[in-house]
């Protein structure tokens, strides 16, 4: 058991390190790219990025199917032919889809034709990358997952810096949006070939074991499509407000709105290390452990993400002083930031528990209901106020509704302790809004940090202490093991 815990810790560290480098890449994309574009041009680039977030839908459930079927297994215990078969099936599907999307895109206006054809070309690489990422996560090959993430980040940083240097050297007025799209597409194809090289043992050559191929493919789609639809609903839930702004407002206003979410993405990068490794770990504990594990994990995630909200204050200074043309985005950023806390608890703790319990359809039905509520809320916000701020407020309200309804399931089914963490989330969210309402950003930052520390010690001191003791215990065990050897 000790070795498993140490392995888990190593996995988290590996993924965290890769995410730190990914964060640097996010900074390059998040601040240098907007700097070299006009707001309207940036809006077109972020339109491409928005639709790329739905690329998982084009995988038709293959990646999700192998994720659920292979989760917690050693890759060498899986028949080689199963990996080879699903990879080739997915590749053929994506090539066909690339042709169809490209054909449709020809009939669009110039800017959207570029976006559509670029999206079509990118679909093949992005979907295969998702396939390999799911395979790596399911079989706990986090070293490869981390290596590819690091390579992606390094390539992105180098290419964006080169583009920025070109902009500065020649004194250009702006950089065309499709230059950055080209960087995205080229990077994804490089990563695809790296993954193919890393998994070449399982993708080429003769099958090592016999299995029923038709039955296996049927199972992949049987398990994968419900999770695909569930993930798609969740993606729509997290992006529906951007869709409304993208369609109902001009590209300049969308560029401002999208920039706020671009900064939010920097914070989600910091939380993904926990999310990536937690599902295989959950599979190794039984259902009876949920009553204790759920509130503990929920409080740790909420505490960590509220700590990340401190980033608002330095980001505010960076945007105001370095990217003043996007300063209006800070209003949107301030509104949506606390919603990240409940969304993180949902994705890291709740969704993974639904997967573990094989209750994906419950999660899907709740998420579908919330998606409908989100569409209605966004329509009402637009019709009454016709402002992007109103749409972002509607998005935050719906996120909290989503959290409360899913929380109610675990309270009823497993009698989990919830009141303390719920009060902590509400009070700290209010503290953030009140603090950021202060004009002096330095006083605002000091106020939020003070209240955050006070509330965290009051509500979550025991859980933080438990987490630190477990970490120190694992570190001590590792040192003793090294000494004995």
In this structure, what are the phi and psi dihedrals at residue 417, rounded to the nearest 5 degrees? -80, 130
Q: What does the DSSP 8-state code read for residue 107?
A: T
For tokens 């916000």, what's the residue?
381
Shortest CA distance to 66 belongs to which of 15, 13, 127? 127
Q: Whole-angstrom Cα distance, residue 436 to residue 313?
A: 8
Contacts of 408 (CB under 8 A, 6+ apart): none
Token pair belonging to 157: 């940083």
Q: Whole-angstrom Cα distance, residue 231 to residue 286?
A: 24
Q: Whole-angstrom Cα distance, residue 291 to residue 224?
A: 28
Summarize pLDDT for 130-186 with one digit per residue, the tens.
999 889 888 877 777 778 888 888 898 899 899 999 988 888 888 899 999 999 999
Shortest CA distance to 192 belongs to which of 87, 117, 265, 96? 87
In this structure, what are the phi and psi dihedrals at residue 442, rounded to the nearest 5 degrees? -70, -45
Alpha carbon dihedral 322, 323, 325, 326, in 10-degree steps, equals -140
Contacts by 367-371 with C-beta closer than 8 Å and gap 24+? 367/230, 367/233, 367/234, 367/237, 367/402, 368/233, 369/405, 370/237, 370/398, 370/401, 370/402, 370/405, 371/233, 371/236, 371/237, 371/240
Q: Is the pTM of this model over 0.85?
A: no
In this structure, what are the phi and psi dihedrals at residue 74, rounded to the nearest 5 degrees? -75, 135
Token pair belonging to 24: 């640097």
Confidence of residue 272 (pLDDT cuts 50, 70, 90): low
Token pair belonging to 473: 């215990």
Confidence of residue 478 (pLDDT cuts 50, 70, 90): very low
Q: Whole-angstrom Cα distance, residue 336 to residue 18?
A: 26
Summarize pLDDT for 439-451 with one digit per residue, the tens.
999 999 999 999 9
Handedness of CA 77, 82, 88, 93 (dihedral sign): negative
Mean pLDDT for the stretch of residues 300-316:
89
Shortest CA distance to 71 belongs to which of 358, 410, 293? 358
Confidence of residue 475 (pLDDT cuts 50, 70, 90): very low
Confidence of residue 483 (pLDDT cuts 50, 70, 90): very low
């Amino acid at each position: 058991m000790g070795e498993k815990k140490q392995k888990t810790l190593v996995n988290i560290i590996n993924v965290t390190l890769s995410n730190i480098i990914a964060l640097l890449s996010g900074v390059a994309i998040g601040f240098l790219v907007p700097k070299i574009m006009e707001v309207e041009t940036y809006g077109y680039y972020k339109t491409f990025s928005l639709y790329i977030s739905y690329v998982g839908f084009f995988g038709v459930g293959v990646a999700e199917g192998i994720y659920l079927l292979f989760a917690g297994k050693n890759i060498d215990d899986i028949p080689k032919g199963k990996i080879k078969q699903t990879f080739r099936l997915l590749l053929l599907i994506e090539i066909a889809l690339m042709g169809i999307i490209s054909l449709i895109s020809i009939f669009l206006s110039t800017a959207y034709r570029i976006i559509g054809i670029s999206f079509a070309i990118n679909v093949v690489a992005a979907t295969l990358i998702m396939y390999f990422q799911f395979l790596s996560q399911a079989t706990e090959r986090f070293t490869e997952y981390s290596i590819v993430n690091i390579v992606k980040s390094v390539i992105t940083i180098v290419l964006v810096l080169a583009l920025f240097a070109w902009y500065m050297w020649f004194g250009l007025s702006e950089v065309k949006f499709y230059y950055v799209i080209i960087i995205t597409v080229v990077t994804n194809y490089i990563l695809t070939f790296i993954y193919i090289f890393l998994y070449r043992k399982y993708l080429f050559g003769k099958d090592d074991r016999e299995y029923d191929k038709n039955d296996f493919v049927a199972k992949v789609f049987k398990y994968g499509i419900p999770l695909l639809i569930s993930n798609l609903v969740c993606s729509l839930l997290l992006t529906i407000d951007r869709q409304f702004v993208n369609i109902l407002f001009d590209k300049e206003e969308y560029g401002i709105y999208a920039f706020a979410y671009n900064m939010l993405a920097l914070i989600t990068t910091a939380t993904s290390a926990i999310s990536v490794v937690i599902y295989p770990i959950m599979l190794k504990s039984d259902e009876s452990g949920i009553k204790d594990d759920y509130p503990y994990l929920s409080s740790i995630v909420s505490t960590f993400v509220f700590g990340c909200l401190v980033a608002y204050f330095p980001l505010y200074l960076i945007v105001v002083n370095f990217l003043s043309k996007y300063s209006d985005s800070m209003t949107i950023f301030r509104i949506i930031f606390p919603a990240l806390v409940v969304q993180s608890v949902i994705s890291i703790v709740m969704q993974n528990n639904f997967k573990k319990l094989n209750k994906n359809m419950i999660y899907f039905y709740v998420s579908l209901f919330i998606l409908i509520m989100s569409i209605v809320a966004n329509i009402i916000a637009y019709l009454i106020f016709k402002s992007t701020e109103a749409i972002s407020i509607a998005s935050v309200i719906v996120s909290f509704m989503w959290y409360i309804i899913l929380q109610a399931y675990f309270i009823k089914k497993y009698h989990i302790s919830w009141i303390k963490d719920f009060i902590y989330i509400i009070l700290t969210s209010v503290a953030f809004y009140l603090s950021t309402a202060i004009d002096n950003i330095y006083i605002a930052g000091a106020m939020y940090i003070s209240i955050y520390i006070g509330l965290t010690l009051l509500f979550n001191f025991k859980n933080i202490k438990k987490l630190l003791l477990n970490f120190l215990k694992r570190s001590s065990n590792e040192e003793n093991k090294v000494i004995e050897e």
